[in-house]
């Protein structure tokens, strides 16, 4: 693929690439078959004897069928537990299985992605499991798995890029169709509305050691239905992102700034559903110190600042910091280990968090 177009495709894939270590990572077109796995453990506690735990084991297979076409398969077995005082609720399940493809088109300046999500997670949740599922969806906590699945989902995305001097400019358009599913044992089927997303972005080389790239996108949500009746329509979402990489001889620093904006009151088609959102600003950075050709020490940090919604809830300010290591155990086997400690407030309550992640990537 054209080098300049590929750099922009890496940026676009920030929104769709697999989150192996608890963060979404950019990815080039797959060149070699690989298998990625690991384990992520996250715990949050608050002063009123509340605790939320989650451990996940991502399973990802990448296979390049040809120089222009690749296939990926992903599932993430998860165990989560919410505890308050001596009472606890647990949820153990596979997520839905996601099959995705990538196809390079034409003169290597366009990329077509197609995906199908096949229900392999729980068909419906019991009352205690629903309690856990609701808690792990809190955006400010950034849990490794916050969604176990629903009905069949089909998605498609077309991205294109072109060089303009020192700039690479591009854009993408895509959509998602979601099938019906039963959210709670004994409840009626719920059918989420379709989604359509568009984005434009850039990649700019400042020097041999420095690059910046970013994009802005908009997502439109269709009307959700229950028992054949339209019940809810989420408001459109605007998302901005800006990232950068700066490298010296043995040091490399990178950052990612994201902001998600929705109107505080979405379209509520009846009084049965009411959801609102505040602004969500996330910043993360990583500093890597090369120890030798095959390994590097890491320092990671991040801040999440989420505003109150229309109900006066959902606000959060959380800071995180921790060490890590990345390297090659053997030429075909890469490993990454990262630990994070977090402190902040959520809905006015002080919270403490910790995360340990261990990931492996084996190339064939």
pLDDT tier for residue 16 given thresholds of 50, 70 and 90: very low
Q: Degrees (nearest 5) of the Cα angle 254, 16, 302?
A: 35
Each domain of the chain, given as residue ranges in start order, spans 3-363
Predicted pLDDT of residue 208? 87
How confident is the model over 340-358, as a mean pLDDT? 95
Of residues 37 and 67, the one with the higher pLDDT is: 37
Predicted pLDDT of residue 147? 82
CB 242 within 8 A of CB 214: yes
Specify the DSSP element, H or E, that contains 114.
Answer: strand 110-118
Predicted pLDDT of residue 21? 33
Closest Cα to residue 284, out of 320, 251, 317, 336?
320
Percent with pLDDT over 90 in the chain:
57
Predicted TM-score (pTM) of the model is: 0.86
The yes/no answer on whether domain 3-363 falls in CATH 1.10.3470 is no
What would the pLDDT profile of 146-158 be if each residue is shown by its tens digit? Answer: 888 788 999 999 9
Predicted pLDDT of residue 274? 56
45-59, 271-285, 304-318: range with lowest mean pLDDT: 271-285
Mean pLDDT, the chain, whole residue set: 85
Specify the DSSP element, H or E, that contains 277.
Answer: none
CB 286 within 8 A of CB 253: yes
27 has pLDDT over 50: no
What would the pLDDT profile of 62-111 be if each residue is shown by its tens digit? Answer: 999 998 999 999 999 999 999 988 889 999 989 999 999 999 988 878 99
Q: Cα–Cα distance between 19 and 143 in angstroms, integer?
A: 11
Displacement of CA 128 from its chain's centroid (Å): 25
Closest Cα to residue 38, out of 14, 10, 19?
19
| Burial class of residue 154 in the structure, from the number of CB atoms within 10 Å of its CB (0-12 exposed, 13-18 middle, 19+ buried) | middle
Percent with pLDDT over 70 in the chain:
87
For 17-46, the DSSP string reads: S--SSSS----PPP-S-EEEEEEEEEEEEE
8 in helix, strand or coil?
helix
User: What contacts 208, CB < 8 A, 6 or more positions away?
Assistant: none
Residue in the block written with tokens 């929104």: 15
270 has pLDDT over 80: no
Predicted pLDDT of residue 151? 84
| Burial class of residue 165 in the structure, from the number of CB atoms within 10 Å of its CB (0-12 exposed, 13-18 middle, 19+ buried) | exposed
Predicted pLDDT of residue 121? 78
Predicted pLDDT of residue 354? 97
Q: Cα–Cα distance between 182 and 180 in angstroms, integer?
A: 7
What would the pLDDT profile of 200-238 be if each residue is shown by its tens digit? Answer: 999 998 998 999 999 999 999 999 888 888 888 878 889
CB 303 within 8 A of CB 318: yes
CB 54 within 8 A of CB 37: no
CB 232 within 8 A of CB 223: yes
Q: Degrees (nearest 5) of the Cα angle 71, 74, 75?
A: 160
State the pairing for strand pair 87-93/78-84: antiparallel
What would the pLDDT profile of 321-345 be if each residue is shown by its tens digit? Answer: 999 999 999 999 999 999 999 999 9
Predicted pLDDT of residue 20? 33
DSSP, res 125: B
Predicted pLDDT of residue 15? 36
How confident is the model over 164-178, as a mean pLDDT? 91
18 has pLDDT over 80: no
26 has pLDDT over 70: no
């Amino acid at each position: 693929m054209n080098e300049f177009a590929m750099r922009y495709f890496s940026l676009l894939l920030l929104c769709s690439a697999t989150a192996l270590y608890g963060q979404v990572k950019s990815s080039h077109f797959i060149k070699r078959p690989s298998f990625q796995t690991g384990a992520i453990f996250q715990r949050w506690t608050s002063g009123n004897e509340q605790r939320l735990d989650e451990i996940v084991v991502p399973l990802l297979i990448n296979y390049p069928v040809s120089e222009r076409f690749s296939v990926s398969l992903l599932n993430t077995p998860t165990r989560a537990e919410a505890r308050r005082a001596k009472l606890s609720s647990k949820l153990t399940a596979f997520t839905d299985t996601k099959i995705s493809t990538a196809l390079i088109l034409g003169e290597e300046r366009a990329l077509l992605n197609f995906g199908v999500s096949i229900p392999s997670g729980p068909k419906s949740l019991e009352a205690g499991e629903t309690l856990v599922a609701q808690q792990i969806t809190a955006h400010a906590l950034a849990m490794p798995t916050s969604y176990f699945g629903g009905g069949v989902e089909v998605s498609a995305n077309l991205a294109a890029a072109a060089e303009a001097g020192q700039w690479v400019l591009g854009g993408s358009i895509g959509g998602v169709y979601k099938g019906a599913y039963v959210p709670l044992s004994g409840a009626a089927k719920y059918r989420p509305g379709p989604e359509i997303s568009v984005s434009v972005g850039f990649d700019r080389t400042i020097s041999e050691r420095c690059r910046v790239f970013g994009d802005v996108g908009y997502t439109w949500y269709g009307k959700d239905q229950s028992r054949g009746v339209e019940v809810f329509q989420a408001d459109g979402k605007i998302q901005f992102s800006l990232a950068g990489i700066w490298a010296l001889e043995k040091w490399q620093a990178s950052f990612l700034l994201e902001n998600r904006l929705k109107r505080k009151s979405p379209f509520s088609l009846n009084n049965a559903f009411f959801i609102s959102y505040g602004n969500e600003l996330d910043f993360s950075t990583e500093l890597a110190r090369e120890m030798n050709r095959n390994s590097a020490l890491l320092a990671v940090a991040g801040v999440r600042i989420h505003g109150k919604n229309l109900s006066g809830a959902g606000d959060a300010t959380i800071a995180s910091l921790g060490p890590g290591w990345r390297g090659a155990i053997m030429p075909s086997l890469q490993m990454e280990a990262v630990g994070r400690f977090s402190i902040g407030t959520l809905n006015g309550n002080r919270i403490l968090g910790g995360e340990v992640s261990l990931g492996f990537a084996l190339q064939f």
